[in-house]
Structure 1
């Protein structure tokens, strides 16, 4: 994925990103990446058990190689907190989707799933209403905790670089995806596009097996994901490097 350059950030926003990443680094879920940054193995992000690991599609295919080659590749692998990996993926896809993104949008994208591991999906009923409740609470919690973090930045260093309260409020509104679908919600739509692109790029291959859903539901999920994206987001998705299985499901989802 060739990345463009995002608009340079003022010092206060750079500091905000560092604080957000420090919090992401506390995620107990770990993901293993190869030398190119691709997922090798991760803790299941779809369950409450932070300590249980599942092999990704990449791990399955890698396991078919020679043992010596596997050992060499393992030496090049690194383990990182999942939420830090996810947040950095959000920034990389934002570079492609909107290289002119404002500082506020850059911070909101980086904090989209802020401290998400503290409220696992499995703590809510495995029903559609349960999912919608969990999703709404996740957005509300992330926005609140990011607001508190960025306000503390100013309280701890009143004379230093700090974000204006109006920008903190806007970051929180973007995380909550307020106004999504309205004509004046361009930045919110960009954030939604980026979140969908990260799902397709980073989570989709594991979702089918981890969530134990059948093909029809996966196709339905893809159609919903596709419908959430703008034309620019869809164009990027079509150019994405997907697994053979993912390409097959995308073709079915877009065939009707």
Structure 2
């Protein structure tokens, strides 16, 4: 009877196994070969865009596009601190500052209100650029929305991945970008920056921050910030 209707039990079982593997992989953040290939291509596309940054940073004595190295540092910190992170969180980390130079701070009023407007627009812009690139590489609407939500820091109190991304942002700042601030600002402002950074982090993020190597000046300021 099965032959008459063209039913193939072996084919059915094979398709069922494929679906089951996909569901298990999705639940446990396990990436299949196709997923890894898609992720690799999309990260490379993000890097190609950030490689256009006219602003440079010296890394081991060599000039590197500023947002390119920032995205790489975000990915490295995510892998180091949260190695089991899923595909979409990895995309959000790499695209956190994508094409940031296109919207300069100077385009907004140089006060706190202007700063907040600038930051809000940047988040929207990063989501737009990342979403376009993801769509070009085969991601669906729900996947794109998840990354856009992460980049806009939505559901910070209810979405664990948003908190992980916030932790990684703070850890990258403390490791690579805080020391250059020290010579530009007074202790009072630096302590305030550290306290605000600390309040954004989870308990795990804070422990990771304390375990990181810091300069003597950064250690002194951390002590002041954490023991007011």
TM-score tier, shorter chain, comes to: 0.7 to 0.9
Equivalents in 1 of 2:153, 2:213: separation in Å?
A: 27
Give the superposition deviation at 1:194: 0.3
1:12 matched to 2:38: yes
1:175 matched to 2:201: no
Task: Answer 1 or 2: which has greater helix percent.
Answer: 2
TM-score, length-scaled by structure 2: 0.82
Question: Which 5+ residue runs of structure 2 have no aligned equivalent?
Answer: 1-28
* 8 Å contact from structure 1 (residues 90, 195) kept in 2: yes
Secondary structure of residue in 2 paired with 1:10: helix
What CA RMSD, in Å, does the superposition of the two structures yield over aligned residues? 1.6
Report which of the two structures shows the higher radius of gyration computed on alpha carbons.
Answer: 2
Q: Which has the higher contact order (CA 8 A, sep 6+)?
A: 1
* 8 Å contact from structure 1 (residues 97, 232) kept in 2: no
Aligned equivalent of 1:135: 119
Give the superposition deviation at 1:229: 0.2
TM-score, length-scaled by structure 1: 0.73
The structure 2 residue matched to 1:164, chosen from 99, 120, 140, is: 140
* 8 Å contact from structure 1 (residues 139, 175) kept in 2: yes
- Report matched runs for 1:206-245 at 5 Å: 206-209=180-183, 212-245=184-217
Count how many residue pairs are aligned between Structure 1 and Structure 2.
197
- Report matched runs for 1:187-198 at 5 Å: 187-198=161-172
Q: Deviations over 1:88-143 (max 9, x none)?
A: 11011101221100000000100011110111223222211111111111101110
Q: Deviations over 1:139-167 (max 9, x none)?
A: 011101111222233xxxxxxxx222211
Give the superposition deviation at 1:7: 6.2
Aligned equivalent of 1:61: none
